[in-house]
């Protein structure tokens, strides 16, 4: 599009420019031509008039002389004779008086008889003689004895005075200068000049620079060009015009300069006047004008072109700008479209992933339900099916929770519920949750903590749990059977200040690891490495996205990852959490001597230090054999360890074997506790048999140690029951019980009376309403209402009571029924009841609810 | 025959009953009173006369009592009957379940009778 417009613009620009050049060029050329024509016309006009003037002038000066001569001829009497000296004297005197330099008789045979002046010869006598013989006045040129040119005026005389010659005319002579001076033929060379020639081209009068005798020769030699004609052609034309006696006009170039020439016949003679006008001056004026005109034309052309160019340039710029804007808009639109497509694709992917992920457990649930239905009597089978259904349901629930979390995250609605959190409780519960999975895959699981100075921090425990669970369950999921999973937790000072503590959580496994490529996408939604190895691994693919959001975006922490395919993966989470502002329990125990046995040196040191902080002196060792040695040594010194902590998994002699050996040495008194991150259900029997007193689950927080060891400080008395769970004190409260069944009433009565409540029995809803109506206001403080009763059911009774006009009509009414369906609960509440309790009657629950609503 | 043996005979859960009623004295008291309860008679009468609402209420009551007493077998059959009757079903399936309730009740009654004779005697 851009190129098209540019091309169009350029083409039209060039087109218009060319047009301009053409138009103005033609204009200029035309003007040039026109100026040449004009010069020609002007020249012709000027020359013709000038020639005519010259011609008239010539006629007049010749006419004057002719008149003089005619008068002279008039004086010759008709009877004059040649020898009449008087006449001759008279003629001479008169002629001299009239300034004729020569005077003579001209015979009809062409002979001269000079009266005075030197002998003259007519240069071209024939036409002169012819004319005179025809009695015509004529002018001709002749030469005197000295060879000088003389203008001859011939006047035919009717009375020829010559006897021996037939006298034709009286001829007077004048110097040539008379004509040339009078005609001003020798003009300034800048201007016009003239020649007088004869028909054969010979000069009669010529200007100085024409040194040849014949004009025609001069033409042949000097003329370079005669308006496109050759010299010969021009001479032919000139001759033709001379013969016909018409005027002739033309232009020629001589010596690089152009001239205009004009030829006209002169009266009284066979002569032609050639007038020349060099174009020089006129030409320069007209050419100057024409140049000026051309310059103006070119200038205006240039101005118009420039203006056009400017307009085009502006327009081009404008178009470019528009194009750019359009392009930008298009790109923006494209980007928006891409984004929309991406979002759409993401959504489609999400849906497709979701439907696949939901379908898998749903299939299991549906399938297992069908199998269970088909084998309803085979308890074992049904049990098995239910177990699988429960598992799939749990998975499904997890999936839905993840999706809800994701949508919360995407809507920015995930907020943290900050509360006091005990790191010990969090890790304990995580370990408890992971133990079954670890056991199922026969993996080595170890939890390790050290340098935990602050156990209670402010955090969202649910989300923290979620993060840990995600990391651990991934580690378990992607680690093959027999692999190792290691979780570490430690603290250091936080850069955020004294009120905070920096917590590092590290989860490490020896699993399948991740490809470099996948590591980039691990925190994306629905990211699951698509390879044969992980093909069957279940999960939503949302876990890490949620984890990252919680850690980084919500809690402001960092999450780092390090993974190698086939080697394993390590995740490190760092969080700066505020220390909980609570007084930690004053944890002090007697100054026991303890021994800690674990193959992990760090754990030993950290545990010993933790024990030290609660007042216990402890020693540690790394294996069972040395532990037994140390115990023996102490025994000899008579300074037994009072409590021994023993790791289960030890190199060489394991925990149980060690315990057995120690028991042999120490007897039964000293408590031996087994430390383990595993579920000890399996080994419990064997452990007890070996003399293990109890278990402490990893990780060993200070509080874990304190709580586990406290019992040994104040041993429980034999046979003492744990203190009865004390319910709320509701003695003396009056409660109306609507119950149609006597047995059920008695049960309720027995159980609740024992708690001090004063119960009144109503046999059905109707009775209940009546008894309530008749009671003083505020007498009954609550009603326990059965639903299924004759005469009037619990729902109706409640509705009636709620519409009574008594200030205490809103007393708490609690439904108590064998129905425990959600719709029953809902219906109870819809009818105006406050709560719902399912039978069998759980006294604690009833008391709790009564306590809640009686307040 | 001890109370525990009685529970075993009537297919109940003694521990659970102890959990709800909290003392052997109360358990024994209510077990002995169970036979005096008229709900079963009402159920039988209603089933025969085809009185569905009354039959449902009676079954529901039995269910509630059994839940408190942890008479597991009778609780199960009476619960199933209750749900059928709740839906208004008085057909063959209900009759069949009713027969089972009767059988469970008979067994329960027999066990309690035996216990009562021993306790009383």
pLDDT digits (tens, 9 = 90+) for B61-119: 898 888 888 898 999 899 888 888 888 878 888 888 899 999 999 999 989 888 888 77
Q: Which residue has the tokens 């309720």?
A: A748
User: What pLDDT is attached to residue A187?
Assistant: 54
What is the band of A723 on the pLDDT scale with cuts at 50, 70, 90? very low
* Neighbouring C-beta atoms of residue A1, cutoff 10 Å: 9
Q: Any idea of the CA torsion for A452, A456, A460, A463, to the nearest 10 degrees?
A: 40
pLDDT band at A35 (very low <50, low <70, confident <90, very high): confident
Residue from the list B30, B61, B64 with its beta carbon closest to the beta carbon of A746? B30
Residue A210: the pLDDT is 64
Quote the minimal CA–CA distance from A843 to chain B in Å: 7
Of A678, A671, A682, nearest to A699 (Cα)? A678
Q: Where in chain A is the domain with CATH 3.40.50.2300?
A: 593-711, 734-854
Residue A369 and residue A374: Cα distance in Å, rounded? 9
A794 vs chain B: nearest CA distance in angstroms? 12
Pairing of β A558-564 and β A643-647: unpaired
pLDDT per residue as tens digits for the range A765-808: 999 999 999 888 888 989 999 888 888 888 999 999 999 888 88
More confident residue, A35 or A611: A611
The CA distance from A452 to A425, in Å, is: 13
Q: Which residue of B has its CA nearest to A739?
A: B61
In chain B the first and final C-alpha atoms are separated, in Å, by 11
Cβ contact, residue pair B60, A818, below 8 Å? yes
Q: Would you say residue A720 has pLDDT above 50? A: no
Helix (H, G, I), strand (E, B) or coil at A254: strand
Strands (E), A215-313: 223-225, 248-254, 257-265, 272-278
The domain A185-278: what is its CATH number? 3.30.450.20
Chain A residue with Cα closest to B78: A818
Q: Is A689 helix (H, G, I), strand (E, B) or coil?
A: helix
Determine the pLDDT at residue A725. 47
- Assess whether pLDDT exceeds 70 at residue A584: no
Inter-chain residue contact A840 with B82, CB threshold 8 Å? no
**C-beta separation of A654 from A682 below 8 A:** no
Sheet with A694-697: strands ordered across = A617-621, A593-597, A643-647, A672-676, A694-697
Taking only the tens place, the pLDDT of each residue in A503-519 is 999 999 998 888 888 88
Q: What is the mean pLDDT of residues A540-555?
A: 82
Chain A residue nearest residue B56, CA to CA:
A788
Please report which helix (H) or strand (E) contains residue B60, including its range.
Answer: helix B52-69
pLDDT confidence tier of residue A724, bands split at 50, 70 and 90: very low
Task: Assess contact for A652 and A670: CB atoms under 8 A.
Answer: no
CATH dotted code for B3-120: 1.20.120
Q: For residue range A665-695, what is the model confidence (pLDDT) as tens digits?
A: 877 778 888 887 766 667 777 888 888 888 8
Q: What is the pLDDT of residue A330?
A: 92
Averaged pLDDT, A593-601: 87
Q: Tell me the nearest-neighbour CA distance from A775 into chain B, angstroms.
A: 28
Cα(A787)–Cα(B82) distance, rounded to whole angstroms? Answer: 14
Q: Tell me: pLDDT of A271 over 80.
A: yes
The residue of chain A with its CA nearest to that of B36 is A743
Using the predicted structure, report yes or no on whether residue A151 has a pLDDT greater than 60.
yes
Q: What is the C-alpha to C-alpha distance for residues A114 and A173, in angstroms, rounded to an integer?
A: 10
Please name the member of A742, A746, A839 whose beta carbon is closest to the beta carbon of B64: A839
Rounded mean pLDDT, A90-95 = 83
Using an 8 Å Cβ cutoff, are A146 and A121 in contact? no
pLDDT band at A573 (very low <50, low <70, confident <90, very high): very high
Collapsing DSSP states into helix, strand and coil, what is residue A325? helix
**Nearest-CA residue of chain B relative to A740?**
B61
Q: Is residue A530 scored above 60 in pLDDT?
A: no
Under an 8 Å CB criterion, which residues of A touch B? 740-744, 746-747, 750-751, 754, 786, 788-790, 817-819, 839-843
Percent of chain A scoring above 90 in pLDDT: 7
Instruction: Name the pLDDT band for A161 (thresholds 50, 70, 90).
Output: low
- The structure's pTM equals 0.38
Res A722 pLDDT > 50: no
Instruction: Specify the 3-state DSSP secondary structure of A452.
Output: coil
Flag whether pLDDT at A357 surpasses 60: yes
Q: Quote the ipTM score.
A: 0.84
Which residue from A755, A757, A784 is spatially nearest to A772, judged by alpha carbons? A784
Question: Is A840 in Cβ contact with B37 (below 8 Å)?
Answer: no
Residue A754 with chain B: CB contacts under 8 Å = 22
3.80.10.10, 1.20.140.10, 3.30.565.10, 3.30.70.1140: CATH of A414-579? 3.30.565.10
Q: What is the mean pLDDT of residues A818-836?
A: 81
Q: CA A151, CA A172: separation in Å to the nearest integer?
A: 8
Q: Name the maximum alpha-carbon separation found in chain A.
A: 212
Token duo for residue A485: 């999973």
| Closest chain B C-alpha to A405 CA, distance in angstroms | 38
Which candidate from A747, A751, A788 shows the least CB-CB separation from B57?
Answer: A788
Q: Report, as an integer, the average pLDDT of A292-311.
A: 84
pLDDT of residue A190: 55
Q: Is A187 helix (H, G, I), strand (E, B) or coil?
A: coil
Q: Which residue in chain A has the smallest CA separation from B27?
A: A747
> Residues of B with CB below 8 A from A741's CB?
37, 39, 61, 64-65
Res A737: pLDDT: 92
Mean pLDDT is lowest, of A35-39, A171-175, A476-480, A583-587, for A583-587
What's the mean pLDDT when you consider all of chain A?
81
Confidence of residue A574 (pLDDT cuts 50, 70, 90): very high
The Cα of B53 is separated from the nearest Cα of chain A by a number of Å equal to: 10
pLDDT for res A167: 63
Distance of alpha carbon A66 from alpha carbon A157, whole angstroms: 12
Residues comprising chain B, all counted: 121
The CA dihedral of A486, A630, A665, A651, to the nearest 10 degrees, is: 30
User: Which DSSP category does A833 fall into?
Assistant: -
**For residue A281, what pLDDT is reported?**
65
Q: How far is it, in rounded angstroms, from Cα A66 to Cα A70?
A: 6
Domain ranges of chain B: 3-120
- Are the beta carbons of B57 and A819 separated by less than 8 Å? no
Under CATH, which number does the domain A734-854 receive?
Answer: 3.40.50.2300
Range from A209-213, A288-292, A503-507 that averages highest in pLDDT: A503-507
CA distance A123 to A141: 6
Residue contact A741–B65, C-beta within 8 A: yes
Cβ contacts from A onto B, under 8 A: 64
Cα A175 from chain centre:
104
Task: Answer for the pair A265, A199: CB distance below 8 angstroms, yes or no.
Answer: no
User: What would you report as the CA-atom Rg of chain A, rounded to the nearest whole angstrom?
Assistant: 72
Note whether A745 and A762 are within 8 A (CB): no
Tell me whether strands A835-838 and A813-817 are parallel, antiparallel or unpaired: parallel
Q: Report the distance separating Cα A748 and Cα A840, nearest Å.
A: 10
Q: Are A761 and A739 in contact (CB under 8 A)?
A: yes
Q: Is the pLDDT of residue A48 over 90?
A: no
The C-alpha atoms of residue A631 and residue A621 are separated, in whole angstroms, by: 11
What CATH number has the domain spanning A593-711? 3.40.50.2300
Encode pLDDT of A167-207 as tens digits: 667 888 888 777 777 776 655 545 677 888 888 888 887 76
8-state DSSP, A533:
G
d(CA A170, CA A788): 183
Structure tokens at B18: 């102890």
Residue A533 has pLDDT above 70, yes or no: no
Q: Which two tokens stand for residue A102?
A: 């020569």
The backbone torsions φ and ψ at residue A167, rounded to the nearest 5 degrees and listed phi first, read: -70, 125
């Amino acid at each position: 599009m851009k190129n098209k417009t540019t091309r169009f613009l350029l083409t039209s620009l060039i087109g218009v420019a060319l047009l301009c050049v053409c138009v103005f060029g033609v204009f200029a050329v035309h003007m040039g031509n026109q100026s040449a024509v004009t010069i020609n016309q002007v020249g012709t006009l000027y020359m013709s008039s000038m020639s005519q003037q010259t011609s008239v002038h010539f006629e007049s000066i010749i006419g004057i002389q002719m008149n003089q001569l005619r008068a002279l001829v008039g004086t010759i009497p008709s009877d004059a004779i040649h020898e009449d000296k008087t006449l001759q004297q008279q003629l001479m005197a008169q002629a001299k008086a009239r300034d004729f330099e020569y005077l003579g008789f001209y015979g009809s045979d062409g002979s001269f008889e000079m009266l005075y002046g030197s002998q003259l010869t007519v240069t071209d006598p024939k036409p002169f003689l012819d004319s005179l013989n025809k009695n015509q006045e004529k002018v001709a040129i002749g030469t005197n004895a000295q060879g000088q040119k003389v203008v001859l005026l011939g006047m035919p005389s009717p009375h020829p005075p010559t006897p021996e010659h037939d006298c034709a005319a009286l001829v007077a002579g004048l110097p040539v200068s008379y004509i040339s001076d009078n005609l001003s033929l020798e003009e300034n060379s800048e201007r016009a000049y003239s020649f007088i020639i004869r028909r054969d081209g010979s000069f009669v009068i010529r200007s100085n620079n024409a040194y040849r005798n014949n004009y025609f020769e001069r033409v042949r030699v000097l003329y370079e060009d005669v308006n496109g004609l050759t010299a010969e052609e021009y001479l032919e034309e000139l001759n033709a015009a001379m013969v016909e006696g018409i005027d002739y006009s033309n232009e020629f170039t001589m010596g690089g300069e152009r001239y205009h020439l004009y030829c006209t016949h002169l009266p009284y003679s066979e002569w032609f006047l050639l007038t020349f006008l060099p174009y020089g001056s006129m030409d320069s004026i007209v050419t100057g004008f024409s140049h000026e005109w051309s310059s103006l034309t070119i200038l205006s052309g240039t101005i118009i072109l420039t203006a056009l160019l400017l307009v085009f340039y502006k327009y081009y710029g404008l178009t470019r700008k528009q194009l750019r804007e359009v392009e930008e808009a298009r790109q923006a639109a494209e980007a928006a479209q891409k984004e929309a497509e991406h979002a759409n694709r993401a959504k489609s992917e999400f849906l497709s992933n979701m439907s696949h992920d939901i379908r898998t457990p749903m299939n299991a649930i549906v399938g297992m339900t069908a199998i269970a239905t088909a084998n309803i009597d085979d308890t074992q089978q049904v049990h098995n099916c239910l177990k699988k259904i429960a598992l799939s349901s749990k998975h499904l629930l997890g999936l839905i929770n993840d999706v809800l979390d994701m949508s919360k995250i995407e809507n920015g609605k995930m907020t943290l519920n900050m509360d006091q959190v005990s790191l010990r409780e969090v890790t304990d519960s995580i370990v408890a949750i992971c133990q079954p999975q670890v056991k199922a895959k026969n993996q080595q699981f170890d939890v390790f903590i050290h340098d935990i100075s602050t156990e209670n921090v402010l955090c969202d425990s649910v989300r923290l749990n979620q993060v840990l669970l995600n990391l651990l369950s991934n580690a378990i999921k992607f680690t093959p059977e027999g692999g190792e999973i290691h979780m570490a937790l430690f603290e250091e000072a936080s850069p955020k200040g004294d009120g905070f503590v920096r917590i590092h959580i590290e989860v490490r496994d020896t699993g399948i690891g991740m490809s470099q490529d996948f590591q980039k996408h691990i925190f994306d939604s629905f990211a699951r490495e698509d390879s044969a190895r992980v093909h069957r691994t279940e999960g939503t693919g949302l876990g890490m996205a949620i984890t990252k959001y919680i850690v980084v975006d919500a809690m402001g922490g960092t999450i780092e990852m390090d993974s190698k395919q086939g080697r394993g993966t390590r995740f490190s989470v760092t969080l700066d959490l505020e220390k909980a502002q609570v007084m930690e329990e004053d944890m002090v125990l007697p100054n026991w001597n303890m021994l800690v046995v674990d193959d992990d040196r760090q754990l030993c040191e950290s545990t010993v230090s933790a024990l030290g902080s609660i007042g216990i002196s402890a020693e540690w060792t790394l294996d069972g054999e040395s532990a037994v040695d140390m115990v023996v040594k102490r025994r000899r010194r008579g300074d037994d360890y009072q409590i021994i902590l023993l790791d289960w998994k030890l190199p060489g002699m394991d925990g149980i074997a060690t315990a057995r050996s120690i028991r042999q040495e120490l007897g039964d008194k000293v408590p031996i506790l087994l430390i383990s991150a595993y579920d000890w259900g399996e080994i419990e029997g064997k452990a007890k048999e070996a003399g293990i007193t109890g278990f402490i689950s990893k990780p060993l927080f200070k509080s874990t140690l304190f709580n586990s060891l406290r019992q040994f400080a104040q041993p429980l008395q034999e046979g003492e029951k744990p203190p009865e769970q004390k319910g709320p004190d509701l003695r003396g409260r009056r409660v109306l019980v609507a119950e149609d069944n006597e047995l059920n009433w008695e049960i309720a009565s027995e159980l609740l009376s024992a708690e001090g409540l004063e119960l009144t029995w109503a046999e059905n809803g109707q009775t209940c309403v009546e008894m309530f109506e008749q009671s003083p206001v505020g007498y009954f403080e609550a009603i326990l209402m059965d639903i299924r009763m004759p005469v009037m059911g619990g729902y109706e009774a409640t509705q009636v009571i709620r519409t009574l006009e008594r200030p205490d009509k809103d007393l708490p009414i609690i439904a108590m029924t064998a129905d425990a369906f959600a719709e029953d609960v809902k219906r109870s509440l819809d009818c105006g009841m406050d709560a719902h309790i399912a039978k069998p009657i759980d006294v604690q629950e009833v008391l709790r609810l009564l306590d809640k609503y009686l307040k | 025959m001890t109370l525990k043996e009685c529970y075993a005979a009537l297919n109940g859960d003694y521990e659970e009953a102890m959990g709800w009623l909290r003392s052997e004295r109360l358990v024994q008291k209510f077990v002995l009173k169970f036979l005096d309860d008229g709900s079963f008679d009402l159920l039988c009468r209603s089933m025969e006369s085809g009185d569905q609402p009354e039959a449902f209420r009676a079954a529901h009551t039995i269910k509630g009592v059994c839940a408190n007493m942890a008479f597991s077998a009778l609780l199960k059959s009476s619960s199933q009957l209750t749900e059928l009757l709740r839906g208004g079903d008085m057909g063959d399936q209900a009759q069949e379940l009713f027969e089972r309730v009767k059988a469970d009740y008979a067994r329960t009654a027999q066990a309690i009778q035996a216990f009562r004779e021993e306790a009383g005697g």
